[in-house]
Amino acid sequence: MRPLELYIHIPFCISKCKYCDFLSAPSKEGERQKYVKSLCKRIRSYGTLAEAYHVVSIFIGGGTPSLLDPVQISAIFHAVRETFMVDKDAEITIEMNPGTVSPEKLIAYRQAGISRLSIGLQSIRNEELEVLGRIHTFEEFLHTYEMARREGFGNINIDLMSGIPFQTLNGWKESLKRVADLEPEHISAYSLIIEEGTPFYERYRDARHEEELPDEETERQMYHHTREILGAYGYRRYEISNYAKEGYECRHNLGYWNRTEYLGIGTGAASLIGNRRWSEGEEPEALSRENQMEEYMFLGLRKMEGVTKSEFLKEFGCTMESKYSHVLKRMYAEGLMEESGDYVRLTDQGIDISNYVMSEFLF
């Protein structure tokens, strides 16, 4: 049996944040109940596929999965365990927003086997949360976090966002320190990306409003201070935007970057089974050998350890140099990548412009 990751998408939220381009929308209770019923049916439809796999991780994402009530969460996990063989030590994560969680929900999560919580904080400053369109305050986040600890959750991630409109370097440093003081096991520190189709895109494509955003140099300093501050608190950066206490790296995300097979269930969820990729409701597309090599490189280079030449050879039957000789030589010469034994990885300078470096590995 091969290892498999499950991603289950819950496309509901109370209101859509101004920067969000994820597949999500406000909903009523009846819509959520109908969706969960359909989702459970869809999960059970994978019974034949499930015979070839054991599930090593499950991630419930959204949207705001914590909008579902305890009965709905229990129904989803009943369908999962009825269909798939889930490892006893599987990492099982649910995303949540402050203000949408109760002790009853947390008890239901534990009963369902959920072992990891991912809380979307984004900022400790209420004015920044308001600018983003978040539905909660920092005080509501603290209440949610303390409640989760009281209910016995010992593996919690907190999301933070830099590059927020009107955010200062000192404000970002304060957010990092206040969150690190809480001692979560994991911190995801992302930079705001303004995506097409969002309210932020409509506002900030107008040059008159660009001054509201931190400039490029400030964002660069934010990025470097993140590593320094979180490192001082004992967090190890193991991926471009993710930091963890020893042993608490997100196994589900590492699976994505290592191209572990995954099955996405729910509206718009993506899957990678064998060498076929598809999103829910679409026809599977077979990945060419070149596609697979591209993914191996640009996903694997997100990890601080990078990719390995021996694994590339084992996976594709040819050396990394035979396919990427010119790119590698140029990246080494420009100081953007480096070799360390079997490993090939980004340098600090390469991480600063990682999107450019990774794009160079596309055929």
Write the single-letter amino acid at 104: E
Q: Which residues contact 306 (CB under 8 A, 6 or more apart)?
A: 300, 340, 343, 344, 345, 346
Strand segments, DSSP code E, in 164-273 are 186-191, 236-239, 242-244, 262-265, 270-273
Tell whether the model's pLDDT for residue 347 goes beyond 90. yes
Write the single-letter amino acid at 146: E
CA 129 to chain centre: 20
- By C-alpha distance, which of 258, 269, 251, 272 is closest to 56? 251
Average pLDDT over residues 272-278: 95
Average pLDDT over residues 286-290: 96
Contact 58, 86 (CB under 8 A): yes
Task: Name the residue ranges covered by the structural domains of the chain.
Answer: 2-256, 306-363
Average pLDDT over residues 130-152: 96
Q: Which residues contact 172 (CB under 8 A, 6 or more apart)?
A: 162, 222, 225, 226
Distance CA(359)–CA(300), nearest Å, equals 13
Q: Which residues contact 99 (CB under 8 A, 6 or more apart)?
A: 135, 136, 140, 144
Tell whether the model's pLDDT for residue 236 goes beyond 90. yes
Distance CA(243)–CA(231), nearest Å, equals 9
Distance CA(259)–CA(99), nearest Å, equals 34
| pLDDT value at residue 292 | 96
Q: 263 - beta bridge partners?
A: 6
| pLDDT value at residue 27 | 86
Contact 11, 268 (CB under 8 A): yes
Give the pairing of strands 337-340 and 343-346.
Answer: antiparallel
**154-201 pLDDT tens trace:** 999 999 999 999 999 999 999 999 999 999 999 999 999 999 999 998
Rounded to 5 degrees, φ, ψ at 58 are -135, 135
With cut-offs at 50, 70 and 90, classify the pLDDT of residue 210.
confident
End-to-end Cα distance, the chain: 33
With cut-offs at 50, 70 and 90, classify the pLDDT of residue 208.
confident
| pLDDT value at residue 219 | 92
| pLDDT value at residue 95 | 97
Distance CA(57)–CA(102), nearest Å, equals 24
| pLDDT value at residue 205 | 85
Average pLDDT over residues 207-222: 90
**242-251 pLDDT tens trace:** 999 999 999 9
| pLDDT value at residue 240 | 95
Q: Which residue has the tokens 């034994």?
A: 341
What percent of the chain clears pLDDT 70, i.e. is strictly above it?
100
> Dihedral of CA 60/63/64/65: which sign?
negative
Contact 195, 21 (CB under 8 A): yes
Write the single-letter amino acid at 289: R
Average pLDDT over residues 323-341: 96
**3-17 pLDDT tens trace:** 999 999 999 999 888
**23-33 pLDDT tens trace:** 888 889 999 99
Give the pairing of strands 186-191 and 156-162.
Answer: parallel
| pLDDT value at residue 256 | 96
Strand segments, DSSP code E, in 142-202 are 156-162, 186-191
Tell whether the model's pLDDT for residue 209 goes beyond 90. no
> Dihedral of CA 251/144/97/228: which sign?
negative
CATH topology for 2-256 is TIM Barrel (3.20.20)
